[in-house]
Amino acid sequence: MVGVASRWNKVHRLLGIRLGPGAAVLPPSVTRIHLEFAREAGDGHVGPRKFWKECVRRLKYHNPSVPMIVNRLASASSPAKMTLYFKNPAAAKPVDAPSTVVQLASSAKGDSPAQPPMWDEQIVEIDMTGKRSGDILANFMEQTKAEAIMPTEEDEQAFKAFEDLDRIAEKDRARMKKMLDEERKAKAMLRRAKAGATA
């Protein structure tokens, strides 16, 4: 049987994915998202990395059908950018239009550059270089017209319960640390006393 603490931890993690920065539902017009930034932080790539770590997982949770490709570059010398792909209903289908989209998988080696739009897509590029993750998110929300997921009253109560548990846990950790420190101190004194008695 799963313990209460283990269940609470799972619920806490799930709430962390369901709610927070990036928790939003994309409109049907968004067909895919591509992010490109350096593997290592630096030269303006800190904000994009933070956006990827904090926001993209929530976006993916709420929009599982929208491909989100991440291309991580070896060098931070290239600009960090996000490419948004939108349906273009006004586009006329050319005779030689491909029937399927070539969709590369995410890459940590820079092997998945942003693909050109399909005949029925248009793109918007967001320059993420040197921008904070919150600013990137605000620009993303504006460009996509995504609808943010707001916490319900139950969610707010759950967050409050977790905060209360975190405070109790912090007090317990401090109390246990003090007990262990005192125990180590007593053992060290005992060892010194034994060493002095045998000398």
Annotated domain spans of the chain: 1-19+151-199, 22-148
CATH topology of domain 22-148: Glutaredoxin (3.40.30)
Residue among 119, 70, 77 nearest 99 (CA): 119
CB atoms within 10 A of CB 198: 6
Q: Which residue has the tokens 């770590």?
A: 53
Per-residue pLDDT of the chain (199 residues), as tens digits, is 455 555 555 555 666 788 889 999 999 999 999 999 998 877 889 999 999 999 999 999 999 999 999 999 988 888 999 999 999 888 777 777 776 777 788 998 989 999 998 888 999 999 999 999 999 999 999 999 999 998 778 767 766 766 766 777 788 888 889 888 999 988 888 888 888 776 6
State the Cα–Cα distance between residues 163 and 153, nearest whole angstrom.
15
Residue among 6, 23, 44, 38 nearest 147 (CA): 23
Backbone angles phi, psi at 83, to 5 degrees: -115, 120
